[in-house]
Amino acid sequence: MNKNVVKKIFWMCFTFLLSVLTIWTLLKQNESMSLQRLLELISNADKKWLTAAIISTACYVLFEALAICTILKGLDHVGHFKKGLIYSTSDVYFSAITPSSTGGQPASAFFMIKDGISAGVTSATLLINLMMYNISIVILGIIAIIMAPKSFFEFHLAAKIFILVGFVGLTMLSVIILSVLKDGNKIFVLVRRFINFLYSKKLIHRLEHKLERIDKIEADYTNCAQMIAGKTSILMKALFWNIIQRASQIIVPTFVFVALGGSEKLSSLLFSKQCLITIGYNYVPIPGSLGIADYLMIDGFSSIMSKDAAFELDMLSRGLTFYICVTLSGIITLIGYLKGRKNK
């Protein structure tokens, strides 16, 4: 069996087990929580706000499809929304079941190349989308601080560390990507020197393999820089859709909170906290940030509601934005794959 297939099956099983463990741990920490209690909460919830949460969750996938199609169109390639939806769902699904979301972009690239999009356009499209995805989270984090300056200080120390590390990491990654696109030669010269230094100190092995990978990455960045030269509008449109995409997911807990009878006056504070929570767990090297995302949500929400209410909000919100969203994305991706094979 292909090593990549074995790896994907392993991470799928690992994510499933981690999901079960996470839910079990949450239920053990909150004795009043049960499946019956969850169903009771859903049945008693305000249906219009719950519907808003469901629609917003769906928009997270739809807006990424629009972002990818917009970039493809800007690179003079026709981007069909139906195909863009498969690129989006494959990214969402495989990002959720692999550490640090490493499987998302390769999965999208597989479908894009399968649809006849050149490797150069594919790599440029996904690189632009990744860059704008990171920048959008940083922008929303800044907006969150402006909306509710004290929200960060209401987290406990461990949560604050996650958020600060995430913010610094996302900002640095965004700056590096922009710098590489602007003047990649100097950056990659420094990277090669650093790799050679590590090899000389016997801290890494397989030098040629590492340098070949850097050559491939540099070629992708150079290709991307050439394609978007003078096309600032592509970046602005991609940034717009990514901000809307991230916001549509981040606002789900707010909708769920109001649906459960929470005060609408706390909406801006909840949104602000969720922005910071998203920064805190976004690049944790655990599939779906399972456990960490739940910890940050309960820690952040417990300062404005009871801990039991925070548990309930976490369970319902994550149920929508992660468990249901990822499952449906996986099903849509599988249907798209099987349909593609049939057509072929």
Which of 116-125, 281-290, 297-306, 310-319 has the least mean pLDDT? 281-290
In degrees, rounded to 5, the angle at the alpha carbon of residue 178 between the alpha carbons of residues 188 and 129 is 110
pLDDT of residue 337: 82
Report, as an integer, the average pLDDT of 131-158: 90
Q: How far apart are CA 17 and CA 4, in angstroms?
A: 20
Average pLDDT of span 314-331: 88
> Where are the domains positioned within the chain?
41-343
DSSP secondary structure string, 150-202?
A: TTGGGS-HHHHHHHHHHHHHHHHHHHHHHHHHHHHHHHHHHHHHHHHHHHHTT
What confidence score (pLDDT) does residue 239 get?
A: 92
Joined together, the tokens standing for residue 73 give 């169109």
Q: Which amino acid is at 22?
A: T
Residue 26 and residue 38 in contact, taking contact as beta carbons nearer than 8 Å: no
Residues 6+ apart with CB under 8 A from 75: 121, 124, 125, 227, 228, 234
Helix-, strand-, coil-residue percentages of the chain, each rounded to 5: 85, 0, 15
Phi-psi domain of 206 (left: phi exceeds 0; alpha: psi -120 through 50; beta: other)? left
Question: What pLDDT does residue 248 have?
Answer: 96
- Indicate the range of 68-72, 223-227, 231-235 predicted with least confidence: 223-227
The pLDDT score that the predictor gives to residue 67 is 94
The DSSP output letter for 284 is -
What letter does residue 100 receive in the DSSP assignment? G
Most confident range (mean pLDDT) of 14-18, 91-95, 284-288 is 91-95
Q: Which residues have CB under 8 Å from 255's CB, separation 6+?
A: 49, 50, 52, 53, 56
Give the model's confidence band at 341: pLDDT under 50 very low, under 70 low, under 90 confident, else very high: low
Q: Is the dihedral of CA 84, 219, 169, 10 positive or negative?
A: positive
**Which range has the top average pLDDT, 32-36, 134-138, 339-343?**
134-138
Does residue 29 register a pLDDT over 60?
no
Does the CA dihedral 328-332-335-341 come out positive or negative? negative
Comparing 5 with 255, which gets the higher pLDDT? Answer: 255
Read off the amino acid at residue 126: L
Q: How confident is the model at residue 254 (pLDDT cuts 50, 70, 90)?
A: very high
CB 259 within 8 A of CB 46: yes
pLDDT digits (tens, 9 = 90+) for 43-100: 888 999 999 999 999 999 999 999 999 998 888 777 788 899 999 999 988 888 777 6
Q: Do the beta carbons of residue 283 and residue 170 sit within 8 Å?
A: yes
